[in-house]
């Protein structure tokens, strides 16, 4: 299926590894040119090289999106490098887990700084380019925003806030012809998941296979997701074929969320 994305320009945050890397590579495979960003310049360089091997152009800018001026600098780099922006994927962000009574104000502020306010600032800075291109914005949240849990109070709150923000932005998008949607992934095979599994292996003395199966059964999913699962949905979503998807929040979760 030709998604007709050749020549489109996409900005993917957190694209040095994990979901962001998978999204960037898939969009390049579908014909997009990419602006990559994250804090690990070496990793970004490697992803850019992989994209250029696919025959597409890739630029990168290593920034910390917690910083107030990072979003403007990133959009300026897109404008200078490509002169347009068709797709923005707000993916960057991680939040601390743990006992609510042990989490500090600094933990909460850091969680919102990277995965909420960074999305807000970047969406605002990129909006004129997206409006001009009649482009698409995709927010990556997480299923904890739909089923909040005590061990993940910060992440649950931030993911719900990201989805609410995107829903409100979609209202503006109807006037400005910018498509806006949210994806809530469940557990995905990334370095972050591996760190959790490794920690549980060390804590419990169980094998990796046993720990992985415990996590899978605990959230009652068919399997863990892959970055490509999210990337394939995004590629369809931002294509002409997926354009009627607007203001949606999609649980891409292997059956984790039990409610309608």
Domains of the chain: 9-189+225-247 (3.40.50.720)
Looking at residue 1, what is its pLDDT?
80
Residues with Cβ within 8 Å of residue 190, at least 6 apart in sequence = 17, 18, 19, 227
Residue 164 has pLDDT above 90, yes or no: yes
Is residue 11 classed as helix, strand or coil in its secondary structure? Answer: strand
What are 145-163's pLDDT values in tens digits? 999 999 999 999 999 999 9
What are the φ and ψ backbone dihedral angles of 91, each rounded to 5 degrees? -115, -30
Residue 113: burial class (beta carbons within 10 Å; 0-12, 13-18, 19+): middle
- The mean per-residue pLDDT over the stretch 237-250 comes to 97
Residue 96: burial class (beta carbons within 10 Å; 0-12, 13-18, 19+): middle
- The mean per-residue pLDDT over the stretch 209-231 comes to 96
* Distance between CA atoms of residues 221 and 212, nearest Å: 12
- The mean per-residue pLDDT over the stretch 177-191 comes to 97
Q: How many CB atoms lie within 10 A of CB 185?
A: 25
The rounded percent of the chain whose pLDDT value lies above 90 is 97
- 56-60, 94-98, 184-188, 246-250: least confident range: 94-98
Banded model confidence at residue 200, pLDDT cuts 50, 70, 90 = very high
Banded model confidence at residue 118, pLDDT cuts 50, 70, 90 = very high
Higher pLDDT residue, 93 or 160?
Answer: 160
Residue 142 has pLDDT above 90, yes or no: yes
The rounded percent of the chain whose pLDDT value lies above 70 is 100
HEC sequence for 190-206: CHHHHHHHHHHHHHHCC
Local structure of residue 183 (DSSP, 8 states): E
Looking at residue 127, what is its pLDDT?
98
Q: What is the pLDDT of the chain when averaged over all its residues? A: 96
Residue 133 has pLDDT above 90, yes or no: yes
């Amino acid at each position: 299926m030709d998604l007709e994305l050749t020549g489109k320009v996409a900005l993917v945050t957190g694209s040095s590894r994990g979901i962001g890397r998978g999204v960037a590579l898939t969009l390049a495979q579908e014909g997009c040119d990419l602006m990559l960003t994250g804090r690990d310049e070496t990793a970004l360089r490697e992803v850019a090289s992989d994209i250029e091997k696919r025959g597409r152009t890739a630029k990168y800018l290593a920034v910390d999106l917690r910083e107030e001026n990072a979003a403007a600098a990133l959009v300026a780099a897109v404008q200078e490098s490509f002169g347009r922006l068709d797709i923005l994927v707000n993916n960057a962000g991680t939040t601390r887990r743990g006992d609510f009574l042990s989490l500090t104000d600094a933990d909460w502020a850091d969680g919102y700084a990277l995965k909420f306010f960074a999305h807000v600032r970047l969406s605002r800075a990129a909006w004129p380019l997206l409006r001009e291109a009649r482009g698409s914005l995709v927010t990556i949240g997480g299923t904890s925003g739909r089923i909040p849990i005590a061990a993940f109070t910060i992440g649950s709150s931030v993911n719900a806030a990201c989805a609410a923000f995107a829903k409100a932005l979609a209202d503006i998008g109807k006037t400005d012809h910018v498509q806006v949607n949210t994806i809530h992934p469940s557990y995905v095979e990334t370095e972050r998941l591996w760190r959790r599994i490794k920690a549980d292996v060390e804590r419990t003395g169980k094998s990796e296979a046993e720990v992985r199966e415990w996590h899978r059964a605990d959230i009652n999913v068919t399997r863990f997701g892959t970055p490509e699962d999210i990337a394939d949905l995004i590629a369809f979503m931002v294509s002409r074929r997926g354009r009627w998807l607007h203001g949606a929040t999609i649980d891409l979760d292997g059956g984790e969320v039990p409610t309608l």
